[in-house]
Chains A and B, each alone.
Chain A
C-alpha cells in the first residue's frame, strides 16, 4: 500500500478511475459522498412510496397493483447488479484494478438480496392475481435461476481464503454467467411456451398509464440510488475488513518471529 501511494502521487493532476485505485483516496472520497447519497436515497424513497400509495387502483388488479412499485425496481436491479459485477470482473481480469474485486465482492450479496426481494414480492403479487404463490412462469423461473447463480457465486467467494485468488475465480464465473444468462433466459422462455399457454400477467397493453409510470420511475431511481449507497458502504467495509486482516496477519507473523 505504501508503494501504491508513492506511485500514484505522481499523477495527481487529473482525477481518473486510476486515482480511485488508491483505497485510501477511495475511502476519503466515499466518506464525503455517502451521507449525501444516503439522504438523497431516503428522500427519493419517501417521495416514491408516497406517490405509489397515492396512485389509483387498477381497474382489474385493485390495490395489489401497488406491489409493482416495489417489485419492478427490484427485478430490474437484480439484472443490473450482475452487469455491474461483470464490469468489475473485466476490471479484475483485464486491468487488475485493485478496487474491482472489492466492488465485485460487495455487489454479490446485494444483488442476491434484490433478486430475493423480486421473487418474494412477485410471489406475493401472484397469490391474488394467479391464485398461487408459485407459477413456473418463464420470467419467474429465469429470475429463480439468477438467484441460484448469485448464491453459487457467493459460495465461491466464501470457499477461497485468499481474497485476490477468490476474486479471479469469481470474475471468471461472473463473465461465464453473463454470457450464459441470456441463453438460459431464451431457453426458459422456449420451455415455458412449450409447456403452458401464455400467463395471466398483462399490464393493460404495452403502454403504462402516467399515473403508474411516474411513481414507478421515481421508485426505480430511488432503488438504483439505494444500490449505489449500499454498494459504496459495502466496499468501504470490505476494504477495512481487508486492512484488519492484513494487520492481524502482520501481528501473528511478528509474534511468531
Chain B
C-alpha cells in the first residue's frame, strides 16, 4: 500500500513541477472551447445549445492529448521497468498511475469547466450538470485510455495510433456524458438514467483498464 501511495505522490509531483505538463491539458481545453465560436459564429443561443457537447468534446480531446505521457516518460527514463519488476502487483500499480494521472490532468479540466461555461453562455444549472458528468465520466476516459497508452508505449511511433485505438472505445462515455448534461438542462428524460450508466461505465473501466494495461505492459516490454 505504501508503495502505491509513494507511486501516486511521485507521479503527482512530477506532473505538477516544471516539465511535467499536467496543466497543458487545461490550456488545450481552453483553446478548443475558444476556437468553437470562431467556427460556428458568435450566436449565443446556438452556443448555449451546443455548450455541453463542446465542453465534453474538448475534455475528451484534452484527456487524449495528455494520455501518451502516462507511461512514455517512465519508459524513457527506465522507471517503468522497475514498476513492472516491482513487488506491488502491476495491475494495482497501473491503477495507481491512472489515478495520479486523473488527479493531475483530469481534475483540472473539471475545475476549469465553470469558467469555460461562462464563455459558452451556459447558466449555473447547465454548468454544474456538465461539471458533474465530467467528474463521473473522465475517470472512464483515463482508465480506458490507459489501455491504449500501455499498447502505444511498447511501439516506437505510438502517438497517433493511440488516438485511433482509444477514440472508438470512448464513444459510450461521450454519448452518456452529453446525454446526461442535456437531460439536466432541457429534459425531457430524467438526469438519473444516463448519469447512472455513465457511473457504471466508469466502474467497468476501473476493472478492465488496469488488467488490460498490465497485460500489455508485461507482454510488450520483454
Q: Contacts A93-B215, A169-B219; is A179 near B168 (CB within 8 Å)?
A: no
CA distance A187 to B179 in the complex (A): 11
> Do residues A165 and B154 form an inter-chain contact, with CB atoms below 8 A?
yes
Does residue A11 face the partner (Cβ distance < 8 Å to B)?
A: no
> Do residues A187 and B175 form an inter-chain contact, with CB atoms below 8 A?
yes
CA distance A175 to B169 in the complex (A): 12
CA distance A191 to B215 in the complex (A): 32
Does residue B22 face the partner (Cβ distance < 8 Å to A)?
A: no
Residues of B within 8 A of A46 (CB): none
Residues of B within 8 A of A220 (CB): none
> Do residues A155 and B169 form an inter-chain contact, with CB atoms below 8 A?
no
Q: Contacts A148-B168, A156-B151, A165-B154; is A172 near B175 (CB within 8 Å)?
A: no
CA distance A160 to B165 in the complex (A): 14
* A153, closest chain B residue (CB): B165
Q: Contacts A156-B151, A179-B208; is A173 near B175 (CB within 8 Å)?
A: no
Does residue A55 face the partner (Cβ distance < 8 Å to B)?
A: no
CA distance A111 to B204 in the complex (A): 27
> Do residues B157 and A149 form an inter-chain contact, with CB atoms below 8 A?
no
CA distance A159 to B154 in the complex (A): 10
Residues of B within 8 A of A172 (CB): 147, 151, 212, 215-216, 219
Query: Interface centre among B155, B165, B220, by most A CB within 10 Å?
Result: B165
Q: Contacts A93-B215, A172-B216; is A188 near B151 (CB within 8 Å)?
A: no
Residues of A within 8 A of B169 (CB): 176-177, 180, 184
> Do residues A184 and B219 form an inter-chain contact, with CB atoms below 8 A?
no
Does residue A151 face the partner (Cβ distance < 8 Å to B)?
A: yes
CA distance A90 to B210 in the complex (A): 18
Does residue A4 face the partner (Cβ distance < 8 Å to B)?
A: no
CA distance A177 to B169 in the complex (A): 8
Query: Interface centre among B158, B171, B176, B194, by most A CB within 10 Å?
Result: B171
CA distance A109 to B176 in the complex (A): 31
Interface band, chain A: 20 to 34
Does residue B201 face the partner (Cβ distance < 8 Å to A)?
A: yes
> Do residues A159 and B212 form an inter-chain contact, with CB atoms below 8 A?
no
Does residue A183 face the partner (Cβ distance < 8 Å to B)?
A: yes
Residues of A within 8 A of B168 (CB): 145, 148-149, 152, 180, 184
Residues of A within 8 A of B112 (CB): none
CA distance A179 to B189 in the complex (A): 28
Does residue B108 face the partner (Cβ distance < 8 Å to A)?
A: no
Residues of A within 8 A of B176 (CB): 187, 190
Query: Interface centre among A155, A165, A180, A184, by most B CB within 10 Å?
Result: A180
Residues of B within 8 A of A145 (CB): 168, 171
CA distance A160 to B208 in the complex (A): 24
B46–chain A nearest beta-carbon distance, Å: 18
Does residue A17 face the partner (Cβ distance < 8 Å to B)?
A: no
A197–chain B nearest beta-carbon distance, Å: 14
Would you list which residues of chain A between 125 and 168 have a CB under 8 Å from chain B? Answer: 145, 148-149, 151-152, 155-156, 159-160, 165, 168
Does residue A14 face the partner (Cβ distance < 8 Å to B)?
A: no
Contacts A152-B165, A183-B172 known; list 13 others, CB within 8 Å. Answer: A93-B215, A93-B219, A149-B168, A155-B161, A156-B151, A159-B155, A169-B151, A173-B147, A180-B144, A180-B168, A187-B172, A191-B175, A191-B179
By a beta-carbon cutoff of 8 Å, the part of chain B in contact with chain A is: 144, 147, 151, 154-155, 157-158, 161, 164-165, 167-169, 171-172, 175-176, 179, 189, 194, 197, 201, 204, 208, 212, 215-216, 219-220
| 24 A-B interface contacts by CB (under 8 A) | A145-B168, A148-B164, A152-B164, A155-B161, A156-B151, A159-B157, A159-B161, A160-B155, A165-B219, A169-B216, A172-B147, A173-B147, A176-B208, A176-B212, A179-B208, A180-B169, A183-B172, A187-B171, A187-B172, A187-B197, A190-B175, A190-B179, A191-B179, A194-B179
Closest 10 pairs (CB-CB, A-B): A187-B172, A168-B219, A191-B175, A152-B164, A172-B216, A187-B175, A152-B165, A148-B168, A159-B155, A149-B168
